[in-house]
Each structure stands twice: as C-alpha cells, then as structure tokens.
Amino acid sequence: MTKRIHVEPEVERQPGPVTVYRAEGESSSRQMRDDLIRRAERWREHFGLRAEPADLGERIVYLSESAALEVYLATDSVWWTDRSRAYQEITSDRVPGDEQAVELARRFVAGTFEPRAELRTAHVGEQVASFSDGPDTEARSQRVGVAVTLRPTLDDLDVFGPGAKVRIAFSDSEEPSDVAYFSRPVQPDGQVDVIHPYQAVERLSRDRRFTGVLEAGMELRIRRLELGYYSAGPSMSQRYLVPVYLAAGQVEGSELDADVFRLYLPAVDLGSKDMKELGVRANPTVAGSFTSF
C-alpha cells in the first residue's frame, strides 16, 4: 500500500466468502410496470391520499394539499410525507422520546412494509426550534420532532447507499409525519471470495479522483473501513448487490478544512470468472463524493 494512504481501523484478517444477492423488481417489461403501478395505487390507498397520480417514468407521485407520496417503480420503495406536520416548528409535549420513537418506528415498519432485510438502529436525531419573545430576550429551544434511521443488513453486514434508507419521523403524535422506506427485494445467488481490505485501499492510489491528490504530496487518512453491500438509488434498476468496502476519511495537506471523502470500493475482483458468471456489469457499485481542491 502506498505510504500516502493511511488506514486507521485495525484490520485483523481477510474476510471469508460472502453471499452475492440478486435484486428483484426490475420494471423493464410492460406487464411488470403495469403491476407496479397497481401496487403504487395500493400505497396511495394505504396512506389515504386523495390525489391523481403523476407518472414521472421512474416513479409515481401523488400530491394533495396535506400530503405527498412517491413510489419508486424499480424497487417499490416509498416516500410519504404529511405536509401539515412534518418539519413543523410548533412546540408540543407529545413528541416521542428517543426510545419510544425507535419502538414506534420499528412497529410501523413491521406492520406496513414486511421488511425485506434485518434492520438495526443507526441513528436517532431530533428537530429543535428556537423561540424568542423579542430581540432582547434570550432564545429558548424546544424539541419539535424526532427521526429514527434504521439500517438494512444482510448476513449481518450493513447495506450502504441511497437505495438502503429507512427513516421514520414523528412530530406531535405516535403516528409518523414522514416515512422513507428505500429497499429492494433480493435473493441469495451464490457466494464469492472477498479481496483483502488493503487490496481495495491500494486501488485508491490508481483512482483518477485521487492520483492528482497523491502526486501533489497530500495524504489520505481512512478513518472508517467497513465491509457491506451497496444499493443504488430507489429509482435505479440494479441486477446485484455486490460486496463493497465503505472507505471514509479525509485528505491531509489540502488548503481546505473539510476535504473529506466517502466512497465505496468493490470488495470483489470484478474481472474474476465467478463474477462474470453472475453477470455483474463492470463497476456497478462504485460511488462516492469528493470535494475539489
């Protein structure tokens, strides 16, 4: 590994073989698309919207005066918002506490979506509003909402990416005010050997996003290196969930204070015979964000 890439997490050994999951829910055929549109209508009925659908190709949108619903056809994912209550700045003593919110969120997901994967609690955040009686009065803050994020897992490995998001928010009651359930149905489809994490990191030195950085004398410090699966956005078709390493860290030596990166490195040899037999397209899982210099 290049001396300019530093990995802080301790890597004890190379992981063993992991399962490759084949994604379902492709919406290419007309018959399947019609079925998905009918399912979108059932979601409209479930959330009680009185609105005409707007077909935007990759998603169906229902918009009423009080609520909004988006159904992503490629994955049958859902985003629903009670527009009269979500993100409000009205004080209330009925906002659930953290533990209650987690329990309510899990109960709602289990009773509504029949989760396609195990869900672990990833984060509980709060929405706080500040109030003041006048310019000379000290502002006071009050909790006006809470949001629970649950992380899908497969084989005890996290599923990363925009297509793996479960977020349930509450404001002034035990009923959700905002629901985002992004997940795609998958089926196990064989196993594949995972490359050593240091081998994945080594490829960063040849990544076009970083070659100039390293040649300029800067260094990459990886503070998080974790094996998991990558799921593309809910409106995108994806044939397989392939194992990836999540690499997150920062660039040292840059003139900018916030030069951080978070990207997904393929954890398998995409040119291997096994992956070719699985029909995985070249580099289906690489994604990330990186600031410019």
The confidence score (pLDDT) of residue 181 equals: 96
Q: Retrieve residue 77's tokens.
A: 């994912």
The confidence score (pLDDT) of residue 280 equals: 42
In Å, what is the CA distance from 164 to each residue of 152, 155, 235, 240, 241? 6, 15, 12, 14, 11
Q: Retrieve residue 201's tokens.
A: 């990191």
Alpha helix ranges (H) inside the chain: 30-47, 98-112, 197-202, 211-215, 273-277
The confidence score (pLDDT) of residue 82 equals: 92
- Asked if residue 222 lies in contact with residue 266, where contact means CB atoms within 8 angstroms, the answer is no
The confidence score (pLDDT) of residue 151 equals: 93
The confidence score (pLDDT) of residue 30 equals: 64
Length of the chain: 293
pLDDT (tens place) for every residue of the chain, 293 residues total: 567 888 888 876 778 899 989 886 555 556 667 777 788 899 999 999 988 889 888 889 999 988 999 999 888 899 999 988 876 666 667 889 999 999 999 999 999 998 778 999 989 998 877 776 777 777 777 778 899 999 999 999 999 988 999 999 998 888 999 999 999 889 998 888 898 998 888 877 777 777 777 888 888 889 999 999 999 889 888 888 888 999 888 888 766 555 888 888 888 875 555 554 554 443 433 433 333 32
The confidence score (pLDDT) of residue 143 equals: 79
C-alpha–C-alpha distance, residues 62 and 43, integer Å = 10
The confidence score (pLDDT) of residue 253 equals: 76
C-alpha–C-alpha distance, residues 91 and 284, integer Å = 45
State the pTM of this model.
Answer: 0.82
C-alpha–C-alpha distance, residues 220 and 253, integer Å = 9
The confidence score (pLDDT) of residue 127 equals: 83
* Cα 283 from chain centre: 19
Pairing of strands 53-55, 59-63: antiparallel
C-alpha–C-alpha distance, residues 194 and 100, integer Å = 39
Alpha helix ranges (H) inside 97-234: 98-112, 197-202, 211-215
